[in-house]
Amino acid sequence: MKVVILAGGYGSRLGSLSELIPKPMIDVGGRPIIWHIMKTYAHYGYTDFVIALGYKGHVIKDYFYNMKHRNNDFSVNTKTGDVTYHNSGSEDWNVTLVDTGLETLKGGRIKRLEKYLDDVNMLTYGDGVADININELVDYHSNHGKLVTLSGVRPPSMFGEIIQDNGRVMSFEEKPQTSKGFINGGYMVFNKEILKGLTTDRSCDFEFGPLEKLATEGEVMTFLHEGFWECADTVRDLNHLNKLWSSGDAKWKVWK
């Protein structure tokens, strides 16, 4: 089963950060956020990734091409070019990197990946981390027999919350998750059959149009996730994720 990661967006709400690197490459705890996402899937045994590139896709290509160098100490013979690695910090992943167009919307990006996909695939965005149990998600999709499964998550509040008891402030919770409704948090599973409703046109969206049509046909189910989920959509979000990581409270870190 392939894990598709949509990594082509601009990340415009990250301000100057996105002028130099694409959004999936923003740093959380010393590693790009896309690495954190992939580590979650790999923890459950899914290590075959297909990454849909767009804005500054060469930065993501360079990262994975040089990943072994980045993550290990090594010696190099400057005459022969031979490299000897001194530790084993490399991930055992298969990563396919595909340019899907600078302005292409999500549906067009997915369609352009068609030749790399299996009959059933997973799909997520390159900016959201969660402690979703991927095996339970896949089992849920397999059992209901529909074409698409979304992961429904509760978004964090935009504001901090005061924890009080009879007027006395007990503590402050920086970004509690809201108790109101669910949103699509990524971490989806889909049957390749849905690609019949997509085109390679750059204006082909996914959520608006094709996915809505599938929902009216009863082909979309929701896997409810009540645990941790957060998206690095703004600088404030990014700072919060880094704070969680540095404090040892990164709930999405399900791997050892």
Q: What is the pTM of this model?
A: 0.89
Q: Are 175 and 156 within 8 A, CB to CB?
A: yes
Q: Identify the CA nearest to 2 among candidates 152, 130, 110.
A: 110
Domains in the chain with CATH codes: 2-74+85-246 (3.90.550.10)
Backbone phi, then psi, for 234, in 5-degree steps?
-130, 170
- DSSP reduced 3-state for 194: helix
User: From first to last of its 256 residues, what are the pLDDT tens digits of the chain?
Assistant: 999 999 998 877 787 777 889 999 999 999 999 999 999 999 999 999 999 999 999 999 999 999 998 888 999 999 999 999 998 777 999 999 999 999 999 999 999 999 999 999 999 999 999 999 999 999 999 999 999 999 999 988 765 556 667 667 666 566 667 656 899 999 999 999 999 999 999 999 999 999 999 999 999 999 999 999 999 999 999 999 999 999 999 999 999 8
Axis-axis angle for helices 33-43, 134-144 (nearest 10): 70
C-alpha distances in Å from residue 79, one per residue of 70, 76, 82, 83, 91: 21, 9, 8, 11, 28
